[in-house]
Amino acid sequence: MFDLFSGSHILILLVVLLVVVGPKDLPRLMHMMGQWAGKARRMADEFKRNFDDMARQEELDQLRRELDAVRQTTQAAAEETQRVAEAQLAPAESSAEPRAGEYRVSDTPSLHEGALHEGAHEGATQAAPSHPAPAKDPAGP
């Protein structure tokens, strides 16, 4: 491999630089070269930082796309589960007796009141009417 900057090469470069530039201007030249090196290093660091930011942004965009895909899949699965559950849990017409501790619920008031009267009077064969007949006025028309 090329050994361009070995100790002897650097010493030769410094001697040539001292002869060409002169001892009076050498510190100023070294200062300017240091400033250029610093600017080049800062530019390289800024380029690297921008490149890393772009890579990080691309990773975040990819992660957002994956998250959206998972969200849509989960939402579709939840809707399918809801649809299946509603189909399986549709109200079934059954005449099963209520279990112990449960009450039969009915939308019809007369059936409900009849069930209450039957439960209140054990052995009763006929339920009381749901709406009593209006009392007749003795003064009459």
Q: What are phi and psi of 83, to 5 degrees?
A: -65, -45
Find the mean pLDDT for residues 94-122. Answer: 60
125 band by pLDDT with thresholds 50, 70 and 90: very low
Q: What is the pLDDT of residues 46-56, one digit of tens each?
A: 999 999 999 99
pLDDT tens digit string along 15-48? 888 888 888 888 898 899 999 999 999 999 999 9
CA atoms of 100 and 112, how far apart (whole Å): 18
pLDDT average, residue stretch 132-139: 56
SS3 105: coil
